[in-house]
Amino acid sequence: MSEVCFEILICFLAGAGAGLGTGFAGLSAATVITPMLVAFLHLPAYQAIGIALASDVLASAASARTYAKNGCVDIKNGMVMMAGVLSMTVVGSWLSSYVESGTLGGFSIFMTWILGIRFLFFPILEPKNTMLRRSSMQKVCAGAAGGALVGLICGFFGAGGGMMMLMVLTMLLGYELKTAVGTSVFVMTFSALTGAISHFALGDTPPIRLLILCMIFTLIWAQASAKIAARSSPLALNRWTGMILTSLGTLLLVVNVL
């Protein structure tokens, strides 16, 4: 009984962290769920990534719906990036099946801490570049290339895809933060679905109870945080997400060292 309660607690905390990251900053749920399941439940990293990607599907879809209601989703250009993402997510998932579990899990934990520091001290605010003046063809090429890189990272590591997509949208394509987040979660809905199917097809099926718990908790927190994010300033979104990920990353690093 105590073991079941512990699993529920870990899935709740992982879902809360993942949902907040997805709703506030368009981060992949795998950034939080993967290291949590690996560190506390000792789940194989490949299975943990599959659960995280599956949780990302509903959470990203719910967040995208909320952002779309506030006019913060660019579906047209998002479709271009999606083509690049989907084309490489399956490749990334296939490559990750040949990497040792400890390597994938360790990278996920380290990435969680790094992303938290990034948001706290180097927040992504309004873009200050000249990409908005480039031609439509240049934007299409940049979006497709950036999407391909994001898909490879998302499928291989199960983490960092949302952050990479956010960087492409803000730094390369010149989006303001809220539209970048909304477009990011829109694309991640489909990339996460592709990645999850690939993981389950190429590897072992993860424990169903953990899968369902993580999906439910992530969905609840993602929907709630997306509603808050739609009414908040970009700086506040960066600070909140940074504090959550830095605290979680530090805890996971300590647990793994001990």
pLDDT of residue 130: 45
Which residue reads 């990272």 in tokens? 153
By three-state DSSP, how is residue 175 classified? coil
The domain limits of the chain are 2-257
pLDDT of residue 72: 84
Contact 237, 25 (CB under 8 A): yes
Round the average pLDDT of the chain to a whole number and report it. 78
Residue 40 above 80 pLDDT? yes
Residues of the chain with pLDDT > 70, as a percent, come to: 78
Residue 176 above 60 pLDDT? yes
Contact 84, 147 (CB under 8 A): yes
Q: What is the pTM of this model?
A: 0.76
Query: From the CB of residue 248, how many other CB atoms can be counted at a distance below 10 Å?
Result: 25
**How distant is the alpha carbon of residue 164 from its chain centre?**
9
Residue 90 above 50 pLDDT? yes
Check residue 132 and report its DSSP letter.
Answer: G
Check residue 70 and report its DSSP letter.
Answer: T
pLDDT tens figures, 106-164: 666 676 677 778 778 877 665 544 445 556 677 677 777 777 777 776 666 655 566 66
Residues of the chain with pLDDT > 90, as a percent, come to: 16
By three-state DSSP, how is residue 233 classified? coil
